[in-house]
Structure formats: C-alpha cells, structure tokens
Amino acid sequence: MPTSDSRDVFDDAIKRLDRAFGYARIDEEALEKLKHPKAILQVSIPLRMDDGSLRIFEGYRVRHDDTRGPTKGGIRYHPNVNLDEVMALAFWMTIKCAVVGIPYGGAKGGITVNPKELSRLELERLSRGFIRQMADFLGPDTDIPAPDVYTNPMVMGWMMDEYSKIARRHTPAVITGKPVELGGSLGRDDATGRGAFYCIQELEKRNGWKPEEVRVAVQGFGNAGQALAGLLHEARYKIVAVSDSTGGIYEPAGFDVPSLVRFKNESRKLKAVYCHDSVCEVIDARQITNEELLTLDVDLLVPAALENQITAENVEQIKAPVIVELANGPTSSEADAALGDRHTLVVPDVLANAGGVVVSYFEWTQNKQGFYWTLEEVHQRLAAIMTREFNSVYDFAEEHGIDMRTAAYAHALNRIGTSIEALGTQHYFNEQTPPVRSST
C-alpha cells in the first residue's frame, strides 16, 4: 500500500509527457504546467454506521488542469484509493479530454473504502457526506464528477441531489452518469465500452480482420468490460476469457456473453450458466486466475479492471498482439517500452476508454440546454468523435513511426499547448513571439 506522500503512479504517468514532447508542438513551459495538478482537496468523511458506531473515511478530489474548460472525471470507491492514484487518474483525464477534443480539463476523485462492506443506507450517507465536504470544489462550470470503479448511476443521483440541496437550486449539470430519470443521458451506461468498440471496428477495417476468428480476453467484467464484451459478441467476435476481482473463466470455443452478464448481475458471480426459459445449463469452463488471463494465447487482450496490470514482471508472458486498454493505466511505462519493442499494438486508455467522458459531455450539454437527445443521436455523435480521433491518432503514429500512446499524447499536447499558449508564454512576454497557432 503506498504511503500518503508517495507519487509513484503519478510520476510514472507523467513520464509519457516527455516522450510525446518530441512529436508535439507545445512550449516547454506549458509542458511543465501539466506536471503539477492545479488543486487537491483531501477530506475526512465521518459516517454513522447502521450499528450506531462512527467510522471516518478518507476522500480525495484532484483537479489537474482546467485550461481547456471545467475539469471532469470520475469518483472511485475502492480500498486502495490514495492521493497518488487519484492524481494520476486526474492527469489521464486532462489528456483524454484533449485527445477526443471535448472542452474539458481533467479531474478525479475517490474514497478509500470497500463498498461491498457497507449497507445501502451507509453507502448513501457516505456519498452524500463526500459531496457536503466537496461542494465548494465542484460545480457545473468548475468541476464535474462522474462514475468510476464501484460507483454507479444511483450514487451519481444521490450526489447530484445533495449538491442541489446545498446550492438551493436543481443542478443536474454538476455530475454525469446519473440515472436517465434524473437527467442522465441515454447511452451513457454502455458509452465506455461502445467507444472502445468503435475503435476496434476501425482496427478491423484497417487490418482486414474476420471477427469470428478474433479471440478476445477481457480482464474486469464491470460496466466497461461487460459493455464491450457484449458489443463484440454481437459483432461475432469470440470472447474466450473474462474475469472479475475473484478470478476468471476460459472457454476456447467462446462464451455466450449475454448469459454471462445476466448471471453476473443477478448473482454477483462469474459463471457460464446458459438459461433457456426456466432450464439452465452450467458450462464447464476452465477456472483461471487474473494473471493467467493476461497471458493467454489470444488475438486481442482487453484490460478493463484497474491500473498496473501489465508490468515489467509479466510483460514477457503477454502473447496478445493487440491490446485495447479499457481500464485507466493498466500498463506501466516499463511494460509499455517492452511491448513497443515487440511491436504489440496498444490502443491506449486515453483514447480507447474515452467514450464514457464523451457521452458525459453530451449529458452535461443536454442538462445545460434542458433538451434531450434520442439514443440514435447519442450513438451517431459518439461514433463520429471516436472514429475521427482514432483515425487521427493511428495516422499520426504511422506518419511518425511511433506507438499509438505516444501519438495520442502528442495529439492531446498539440491541443492543450495551443490553449496554454493563447494566454501567453515566455516567447510572447519576451517579444520573440512565434504567432499563436490555431488548434485543429
């Protein structure tokens, strides 16, 4: 467990900036600015438990950079949440919003808690307590949270409701990922997985893949992993392995994903149980560990759980030639270098999982307008952004002979750099001015 002042994850995350700097048009001052989060708030949240006792939980919110707009990023509930992790996640949000060209900076928040140990009433009180402590830090034009690991639409609804009470006005645009009945957007539930699916469809076109021949392993079977696995299954990809925090299952012939999703969500267990009417059959899939899943002989590997899963320790055993990062930060920078040497194609998190924040942006836009879109409109607009930005990053990588992560960072730095420079850098103030570039 990292100490409260360790910065290993954040320092590893910002290493990517230096690598991308050589390919980006950004002033060194602007780059330096991105190595320091704009603001950090740490709070202690007292929670009255159902048995009458009092427990105190640590909560964090980091606003990384707001040059391009209000900051945006999820709230995670997990026992390992710490400031270092939240800083890294906030940094990735700044890059991600710039990669897909939406008018936000990056933020992230979290509470160090195992939500599985709390009752529903305790969870509601904790979520509302977090907002009471954070209210001055948040706002629809300053910082806008969303769901992340182990938080869901209902948690977002409680948070929006608490904020609205404090602000004494209905404020749906303060948070995204809300239930549709409380101002959420249609299509937000599967947006992260769907965004990655649109990226994979572009890979399919460019590489002439036949979906039924592509074997896929998905680590993490929550919101993001389930949605992508479901869409790939529908498109006839073969999902041969999935896992959750308790371990995984492997079936070389491929799983019926809707049955896995149904059983997991009804029983909280990952098991291949296929039901037709009231008759259910248990498929004898091989039990595997999360470590084994990562090293399976598959064509496409999708880490969709937590950060630091592919590291210097296991990278040599990774066999998949293509990795699509649905989780944030699943690959350490050391592992990244090794994958690059082996020409493994990695579609990086800041692009592959950006569908969630894109539809969060749509939700915020709809809340501000008070005018709501159809599901088809949401899908069309999401597809347009994801395919446009995927192809820009892919072409940039090919043009410069670099990996897609470096290309995505350079693409983002070009956008962030022009915004920072528009406010003036040393060149302007020293009057050696290169003219301000217009952004793409």
The region that residue 101 occupies, defined by phi over 0 for left and psi between -120 and 50 for alpha, beta otherwise, is left
- Which 19-48 residues touch ligand NAD, going by CB under 6 A? none
| HSE-up of residue 67 (Cα within 13 Å, Cβ side) | 24
Which position's Cβ is nearest ligand NAD?
222
Residue 67 to residue 103: CA distance in whole angstroms: 9
Residue 421 binds ligand NAD, judged by CB under 6 A: no
Rounded Cα–Cα distance for residues 150 and 300 (Å): 25
DSSP, collapsed to helix, strand or coil, labels residue 212 as helix
Q: Hey, how many other C-beta atoms are within 10 angstroms of the C-beta on 52? A: 6
**Of residues 357-396, those binding ligand NAD (CB under 6 A):** none
Beta carbon of residue 326, minimum distance to ligand NAD (angstroms, whole number): 6
Token digits of residue 155? 């948690």
Q: Give burial (CB, 10 Å; 0-12/13-18/19+) of 258.
A: middle
Nearest distance from C-beta of residue 426 to ligand NAD, angstroms: 35
Question: Residue for token digits 């509302």?
Answer: 128
**Per-residue binder mask for ligand NAD (CB under 6 A), 273-302, x = binder:** -----------------x------------
In this chain, which of 148, 161, 251, 421 binds ligand NAD, going by CB under 6 A?
Answer: 148
Instruction: Identify the residue among 143, 244, 251, 403 touching ligand NAD (CB under 6 A).
Output: 244
Task: Report, in Å, the least distance between residue 23 CB and ligand NAD.
Answer: 25
DSSP string, 24-56: S---HHHHHHTTS-SEEEEEEEEEE-TTS-EEE
Shortest CA distance to 198 belongs to which of 240, 226, 233, 231? 231
Among 294, 306, 320, 382, interactor with ligand NAD by CB under 6 A: 306
- The residue among 70 and 417 lying less far from ligand NAD, judged by its C-beta, is 70
49/52 Cα distance (integer angstroms): 5
220 binds ligand NAD (CB under 6 A): yes
35 given a catalytic annotation: no
Residue 185 interacting with ligand NAD (CB under 6 A)? no
Question: Distance between CA 244 and CA 221 in Å, rounded?
Answer: 5
**Which strand (E) or helix (H) includes residue 132?**
helix 120-134
The residue (of 163 and 221) whose beta carbon lies closer to ligand NAD is 221
Q: According to the binding rule CB under 6 A, does residue 331 interact with ligand NAD?
A: no
Residue 330 CB, nearest distance to ligand NAD (Å)? 7
Catalytic choice (38, 108, 178, 238): 108
Is 224 near ligand NAD (CB under 6 A)? yes
Whether residue 238 contacts residue 262, with contact meaning beta carbons closer than 8 Å, is answered with: no
Contact status: 150 vs ligand NAD (CB under 6 A): yes
Binding site for ligand NAD (CB under 6 A): 147-150, 192, 219-225, 243-245, 290, 304-306, 326-328, 353, 356
Catalytic amino acids?
Answer: 108
